[in-house]
Amino acid sequence: MPEVQIKLPDGSVRQVPAGTTPAELLDTTDAVAALVDAEPWDLRRGLDRDATLIALPAASEQGRVVVRHSTAHVLAQAVTDLYPEARYAIGPPTEDGFYYDFDVPAHLCRGPHVPSTAAIPAFKLLRAAGAYWRGDESRQQLQRIYGTAWESEEALADHMHRLEEAERRDHRRLGLELDLFHFPPEIGSGLPVFHPKGGLVRKLMEDYSRAEHEAAGYSFVWTPHLTKDLPVAGTVVPGAAAAVVRVRHCLSLRAVWRDPWACPGAGYHPGRCPHLLQPRAAHRRAGQLA
């Protein structure tokens, strides 16, 4: 049987048969996986090349990814045990948890996974929602279940406390409670209507921002709220939508830049904002711009 050369965490090098697993070479206390040349690797997956090998603890960024991905698989098994007709799709880890989509005939998984469910000490399911496969609205809607998983009950409790604190500070909730603004559904999602107190807060913030920019030597330019149709990534976006796509950043900052021609509008190279391109071209023709 061919052999591979493995460098261990203590700096020693061992010559072992190909197929030897990280679990056979490492102290796996508190480990949920291994890193093989910095690549996450199942503890029971055989080694097939010369490599540097270290253990991957659960209480690490990459270790939490393994725990959360593995917990997503436990969720998938539980759902299909309860609902045998359910079909599952993907269950990736997220920044602080995981989700799993159900009801399509596919299952794609790259791993790695914990060696057993005993290595998943703390998890909690959070909510369910509808979702489309890869965000494609033309596909069948799926049922998505969100959850979170951590390396200990203490870490899970800390995370849930952070979520509770974030909910208490949610701007949508505070906007109503403090009579600052609200979001009328007939206007559109995410579009606030400011009440008098909210309008005052916004004015004070804008006045402060304007004064700071002027003190720093910035100049102001202004762009219209609505435009004609604009080409965006090879397609034509109607004027109102194009204004949202291209001008939103300008409006949110009140279009304040040191160089008024260097518009950072999304997707445009500096100096190619369509709202400023024509006057710039006119100045260039007049010899006023290089």
pLDDT exceeds cutoff 80 at 26: yes
How far, in Å, are 38, 51, 83, 256, 283 from residue 221 at the CA level?
A: 49, 57, 59, 6, 16
Interval 83-103: pLDDT, tens: 888 888 888 899 899 999 887
pLDDT(242) > 80: no
Annotate 178-190 with DSSP letters as a single string: TTSEE--TTT-TT
Contact at 8 Å (CB) between 265 and 246?
Answer: yes
The answer to whether residue 155 scores a pLDDT higher than 70 is yes
Structure tokens belonging to residue 155: 């870490």
Average pLDDT over residues 10-17: 96
Look up residue 256 and give its DSSP letter.
E
Q: Helices 239-252 and 274-285 sit at what angle, rounded to 10 degrees?
A: 80
Is residue 256 scored above 80 in pLDDT?
no
According to DSSP, the residues that pair with 14 across neighbouring strands are 6
Q: Over the stretch 119-143, which tens digit does the pLDDT of each residue have?
A: 889 999 999 888 887 777 888 888 8
Structure tokens that stand for 118 in this block: 């005993």
Peptide bond into 112 cis (omega under 30): yes
pLDDT in tens, 42-65: 999 999 999 999 999 999 999 999
